[in-house]
């Protein structure tokens, strides 16, 4: 049976997610606004759940019907055979995204949907599910579109996919795993890792970029460590298909275990470096070089075999320090790159108004969002002889 899957993603990352899904054999993938859509058998949704590093969730479309008011939502939801999806004595939660003129209040739309599910099940079985926000048996998403249609979707992931399923000691301003993975994917890291290219994160903090880079290099699917999924207690769950998907992912991880890594990280804070080491060890990674080093002392890792990639998320004044301090740090960082990383390529995620402070001419700027904050993925080929670019020339105006 062919299903339609909708994968929400942080704004700006739609194209990267589409490329990732194609690389996982899940194409064609169609980017939209904050989503990417794919079609395929149920196993395709399972493969996206366990394998996508960039998607926020994986949603299975149950129904799409015309309408923009509460009556249309209730009628459309009540037609779905919920007895095939949830144990009548189970638990349910409904999230709502979007809105229409008649359904501007999301809590109200969620209640209408819940009532339709409960009424259908009570009529057919004499029982009704209860509402539970944390770890429900069935989590539904209602998308109220501006095209005159309502989409009703089942959340296959459960918890957001950036929660990789392993213990993590976060720093003060951690980058979300999905954003870190997208930056690495933009940098071409999976292919670069296979070539033995060294990768450095000079603001590694608690190690999120390094963890994602190590897992990508060793084909460790991000969902392998997760014990519970949104489909775990769904009545439509195909246990045999899921077992096959998980077995294939485990086989790839087993084959990649022990594959040489050429990863280094540094930070001036010894405490966060200790957290990075703990986090990497929690993933079974003990061969990443971590060094305490200030930004004005940055150098390539000892023994690096030729130029490599520098992928990082420097503090940019939103949650750590002042904007003035962040600007000064970016200037020092840019100067150090030019002085000591000639021939390397840097990929930096930073605030829009911090790009010019680096003083190096970007080859590419990719808009992205870190939560509500607009940022840029910036690709910078480092050439030591290039003149320093003024902040005005490097800004986006």
The sheet carrying 30-31 orders its strands as 30-31, 35-40, 3-8, 59-66, 149-155, 138-144, 91-98, 130-131
- Closest CA relative to residue 284, chosen from 249, 257, 250, 324: 257
Q: Quote the distance between the C-alpha of residue 175 and its chain's center.
A: 10
- Mean pLDDT score, 81-90: 96
Neighbours of 74 (CB within 10 A): 16
Closest of 98, 26, 86 to residue 55, by C-alpha: 26
Q: Please state the domain extents for the chain.
A: 3-155, 177-218+261-394
CB 92 within 8 A of CB 132: yes
pTM of the full structure:
0.93
Q: Does residue 307 register a pLDDT over 80?
A: yes
Mean pLDDT of 193-221: 96
**Domain 177-218+261-394 bears CATH identifier 3.30.70.20:** no
Give the pLDDT confidence of 45-73 residue by residue, as tens digits: 999 999 999 999 999 999 999 998 999 99
Cβ contacts of 300 within 8 Å, gap of 6 or more: 198, 200, 308, 340, 341, 344
Assigned architecture for domain 3-155: 2-Layer Sandwich (3.30)
Q: Which residues contact 304 (CB under 8 A, 6 or more apart)?
A: 198, 262
What is the structure's pLDDT at 394? 44
């Amino acid at each position: 049976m062919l299903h339609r899957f909708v994968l929400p993603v942080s704004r700006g990352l739609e194209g990267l997610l589409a490329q990732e899904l194609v690389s996982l054999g899940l194409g064609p993938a169609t980017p939209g606004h904050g989503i990417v859509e794919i079609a395929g058998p149920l196993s395709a949704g399972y493969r996206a759940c366990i394998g996508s590093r960039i998607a926020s969730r994986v949603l299975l479309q149950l129904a799409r019907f015309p309408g923009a008011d509460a009556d249309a939502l209730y009628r459309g939801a009540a037609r779905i055979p919920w007895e095939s999806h949830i144990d009548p004595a189970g638990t349910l939660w409904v999230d709502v995204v979007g809105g229409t003129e008649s359904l501007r209040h999301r809590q109200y739309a969620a209640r209408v949907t819940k009532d339709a599910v409960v009424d259908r099940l009570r009529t057919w079985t004499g029982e009704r599910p209860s509402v539970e926000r944390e770890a429900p048996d069935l989590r539904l998403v209602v998308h109220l579109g501006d095209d005159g249609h309502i989409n009703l979707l089942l959340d296959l992931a459960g918890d957001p996919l950036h929660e990789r399923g392993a213990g993590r000691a976060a720093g003060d301003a951690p980058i979300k795993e999905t954003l870190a993975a997208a930056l690495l994917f933009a940098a071409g890291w999976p292919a670069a890792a296979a070539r033995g290219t060294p990768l450095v994160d000079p603001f590694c903090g608690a190690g999120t970029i390094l963890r994602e880079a190590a897992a990508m290099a060793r084909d460790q699917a991000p969902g392998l460590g997760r014990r519970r999924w949104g489909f775990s207690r769904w009545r439509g769950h195909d246990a045999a298909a899921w077992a096959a998907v998980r077995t294939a992912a485990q086989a790839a991880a087993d084959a990649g275990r022990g594959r040489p890594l050429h990863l280094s990280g540094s930070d001036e804070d010894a405490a966060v470096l200790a957290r990075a080491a703990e986090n990497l060890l929690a993933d079974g990674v003990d061969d990443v070089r971590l060094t305490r080093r200030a930004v004005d002392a940055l150098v390539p890792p000892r023994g690096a075999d030729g130029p490599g990639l520098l992928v990082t998320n420097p503090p940019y004044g939103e949650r750590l320090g002042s904007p003035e301090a962040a600007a000064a740090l970016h200037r020092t960082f840019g100067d150090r790159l030019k002085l000591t990383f000639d021939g390397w390529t840097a990929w930096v995620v930073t605030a829009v108004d911090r790009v010019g402070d680096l003083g190096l001419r970007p080859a590419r700027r990719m808009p992205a969002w870190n939560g509500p904050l607009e940022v840029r993925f910036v690709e910078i080929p480092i050439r030591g002889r290039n003149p320093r670019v003024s902040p005005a020339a490097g800004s986006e105006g």
